[in-house]
A = this chain, B = another copy of it.
């Protein structure tokens, strides 16, 4: 059963990337709360220099829930020392997610080490690093959300590229968990094209691994590989159908707006972007 978002911005969250990281996190927290949203998803850069504890208090004082902390350092590395360094960095990030009380720590896996063509090797490193992080996540009481990225990012940002692939990894590393710590983040931009989406969503829901749901839109034409994502309703994704599938599969967390848009929304005042996102969440999502 799909929830209605009309009048229910408390079910919605704003990923701070949507506002372009142009203003101090304190001001962004206040703006998101003032616009009526129920949650926020900060990036590690929002915490750096501010103290994660201080940001956590500011978010809590504003009455906001943390739908996720973005994101892992890319995992694959050219050598074991660098692999270990990245893993340590991700353990620290996970501790920050715990401090924030985040619904999940978002894992964007990384992919080919520069100069390498070994995609299978990168996937192997991601599996190894995720297994290590999972141990730390259990100790810290944090959930890890593997976010498969669109295959257009397979070379340089993530070697996890479909929901089924992310679920395969989760089920391999954490089989038959009653209350899994390793799940997935479903981002409309990354998965909308997938012909296997309906069975994959059902599978993720059945095993209790739907930890996050992100919305934005796919623009036609898309002018930039990374930063030309659209406001919900401005592109071609059937977001209402996707949310219905995700919620009927069992997702009951926040609906998080995450839009990378250097060409459009990052040039507008935060209040305008928040206002339009609120409208679109209630009308097209």
Contact = CB atoms under 8 A, between A and B. Distances in A.
B218 A155 contact: yes
A193 B151 contact: yes
A161 interface: yes
Q: Is the interface of A mostly helix, strand, loop or mixed?
A: loop
Contacts of A155: 193, 218, 220, 235-236
A119 B151 contact: no
A88 B52 CA distance: 63
B165 A117 contact: no
A23 interface: no
Interface string A183-215: 000000000111110000000000000000000
Nearest to A166: B195
A229 interface: no
A152 B156 CA distance: 15
A24 interface: no
A236 B150 CA distance: 17
A168 B156 CA distance: 30
Contact of A117 (B118, B119, B237): B237
A274 interface: no
20 contacts: A112-B220, A112-B236, A117-B236, A117-B238, A119-B193, A150-B152, A151-B152, A152-B152, A152-B222, A154-B192, A155-B218, A155-B220, A155-B235, A155-B236, A156-B220, A161-B193, A161-B195, A164-B196, A168-B195, A221-B225
Nearest to A116: B236
Contacts of A165: 195
Nearest to A150: B151
A150 B155 CA distance: 13
A89 B120 CA distance: 42
A123 B162 contact: no
A119 to B, nearest CB: 7
A238 B118 CA distance: 7
Contacts of A235: 155
Contacts of A168: 195
Contacts of A192: 119, 154
Nearest to A217: B117
A156 B194 CA distance: 15
B195 A123 contact: yes
